[in-house]
Amino acid sequence: MASPRRAAARYHGDQAAVPGMLDFAVNVRAAEPPSWLVQRLASRLPDLGRYPSQADDLRARNAVAARHTRRVEEVALLAGAAEGFALLPDLRPRRAALIAPSFTEPEAVLAAAGVPFDHVVLDPPYTLAADAVPDDADLVVIGNPTNPSGVLHTREQVLALRRPGRIVVVDEAFADAIPGERGSLAADALPDVLVLRSLTKTWALAGLRVGYALGPADVLARLTARRPHWPLGTLQLEAITACSAPESVAEADRSARRLLEVRAEMVAGLTSIGVQVVDGAAPFVLFAVPDAELVRKRLEDKGIAVRRCDTFVGLDGQFLRAAVRPEWPVLVDAVAEVMR
């Protein structure tokens, strides 16, 4: 039987939302992919009778490499950024440091593999202090922007984590939701930095599982050495190619700029009812209420799903996370009502 902490690490927002609910718990930003992407994937359905081709794989890696001005050898395609975390034990770290509060999947994976790790818990407002990481950590995992706080660390803060013999893993699953991808290290070819990217949030592809890793070729080779043949299917490869094209990147940036405006409105709405909001930049908002569990359950009774946050190391029962959505006034009104 899994320990309570292990179970908490494997809790994710999709467990909070059931069909028919107004979903603020999951950070996928649309109910379905754009029509052009659906049509492009549909055009490849006749190819499902054949194994994924090397040409498809190379085309996808070339598209990602061009998108981030990297060499193709510095790209590994993944079944979602979460697969990148699942592969971390193959880097054979002696000891890992997980910057917290943060996405819990690295904790679950490393614990299951028996890799020793420490949580480096940041105090509010959850800004990064490089000297807080133990010197013996040869693997450091940090989110940027961080889930669930939404805090966007500067490039300089993240780069200050580098040490001889250490690999820094940067979870940039939400980086394309930041206009101009401010703070991203995706285009930096560094010998000790591994960047994980997801395409599932911006393009509503959570059900397809698509992402990639960017890093030095030797690190990627170690990371992927034990993967099976054909690790990604044809539709996954096609999606990565499509979403990495220049016109798609431009569309994502336009979406990020609109999202930033909606986020500011949502934060103002929550603040106006006396809710404390953590300063952040991500496509979700972390906020504190007097009794988060009670508020969450009362919102659930109203058909509204938000993400519980007591499963994150470093957060207590005061916090909830909500995705930025145009329907935010409904959430604000409901929170105000249940807190009265």
Q: Which long-range contacts (CB under 8 A, 24 or more apart) does 110-119 make?
A: 111/6, 111/9, 112/6, 113/89, 115/88, 115/89, 119/313, 119/314
Would you state the pLDDT for residue 80? 95
First to last CA, the chain: 40
- Phi and psi at 88, nearest 5°, equal -55, -35
Nearest to 74 by CA among 241, 164, 190: 190
Residues 6+ apart with CB under 8 A from 327: 22
Neighbours of 163 (CB within 10 A): 16
Nearest to 166 by CA among 219, 206, 203, 210: 219
Q: Which domains does the chain have, with CATH numbers?
A: 4-32+249-339 (3.90.1150.10), 35-245 (3.40.640.10)
Would you state the pLDDT for residue 31? 85
Distance CA 286, CA 175 (A): 17
pTM listed for this prediction: 0.95
Per-residue confidence in pLDDT tens, the chain, 340 aa: 556 666 777 777 777 777 889 999 999 988 899 999 999 999 999 999 999 999 999 999 999 999 999 999 999 999 999 999 999 999 999 999 999 999 999 999 999 999 999 999 999 999 998 788 999 999 999 999 999 999 999 999 999 999 999 999 999 999 999 999 999 999 999 999 999 999 999 999 999 999 999 999 999 999 999 999 999 999 999 999 999 999 999 999 999 999 999 999 999 999 999 999 999 999 999 999 999 999 999 999 999 999 999 999 999 889 999 999 999 999 999 999 999 8
Q: Which residue has the tokens 């590994």?
A: 76
